[in-house]
Amino acid sequence: MACHRAVKKDSREIQRLAALGNEATPFPSRQVYTVADFVFFSHARHRKAGIDCAQCHGAVAESEVVTKEVPTTMKYCVDCHRARCAAADCHTCHELGQ
């Protein structure tokens, strides 16, 4: 819910989810984006690098439903990293030897 402290916090659906607190298991929603279990992805690292939510999620601030806007393939991620001169070596996304 970290994003929804600022994005769409007045939405009835967001308020319903916030009322569930941290005890809601399983979370009553459908996951839109998935990555393989051997891939490490951090929203926090991307936000810290200046990547705006809309770059991957579209106009989520105006949307009622999140849809998949970009692929979650290795090629897409590496191309994005290279375009932004971000690290693109194996250890950036894969925790090898763990």
Single pTM value for the model:
0.67
Based on the fold, state whether residues 47 and 26 are members of the same structural domain: no
Based on the fold, state whether residues 48 and 92 are members of the same structural domain: yes
Based on the fold, state whether residues 86 and 65 are members of the same structural domain: yes
Task: Check residue 62 and give its pLDDT.
Answer: 79
Task: Check residue 27 and give its pLDDT.
Answer: 61
Task: Check residue 6 and give its pLDDT.
Answer: 65
Based on the fold, state whether residues 4 and 45 are members of the same structural domain: no
Based on the fold, state whether residues 44 and 92 are members of the same structural domain: yes
The domain tally of the chain equals 2
**Helix, strand, coil shares of the chain as percentages rounded to 5?**
40, 0, 60
Based on the fold, state whether residues 40 and 81 are members of the same structural domain: yes
Average pLDDT of the residues of the chain: 81
Residues 40, 98: Cα–Cα separation, whole Å: 12
Residues 85, 6: Cα–Cα separation, whole Å: 29
pLDDT < 70 stretches in the chain? 1-7, 21-29, 97-98
Cα angle: 59, vertex 61, 63; to 5 degrees: 70
Domain span at 62 = 34-98
Task: Check residue 76 and give its pLDDT.
Answer: 94
Task: Check residue 25 and give its pLDDT.
Answer: 61
Give the up-direction half-sphere exposure of residue 72: CA atoms within 13 A in the CB hemisphere: 13
Residues 10, 58: Cα–Cα separation, whole Å: 19
